[in-house]
Amino acid sequence: MSDKKKGWDELPSLEGFQMDGDYSANDSLGNRWFERLTFGDVTEIFEVKAVPVRVATAGFTIDGTLSDISGGGIAVTLKKPLEEGQQAKIGLFMGRRKIVCRAVARQTAEIQNGYRIGFQFKDISEEDSTYINGLYSSKVLSR
Which amino acid, residue 11? L
What is the per-residue pLDDT across 4-63, written as a single tens digit (0 to 9) for each?
665 656 656 556 655 555 545 454 444 445 678 999 999 988 999 999 999 999 999 999
Report the largest interatomic distance among the alpha carbons of the chain, rounded to a whole angstrom: 74
Structure confidence at residue 134 (pLDDT): 87
β-partners of residue 121 are 103
Average pLDDT for 73-80: 97
Instruction: Determine the 3-state secondary structure of 53 from DSSP.
Output: strand
pLDDT at 79 over 50: yes
Give the range among 4-8, 105-109, 116-120, 123-127 with minimum mean pLDDT: 4-8
Distances (CA, A) of 48 to 40, 45, 94, 125: 10, 8, 10, 25
pTM of the model: 0.74
Helix (H) or strand (E) holding 52: strand 52-56
Structure confidence at residue 35 (pLDDT): 79
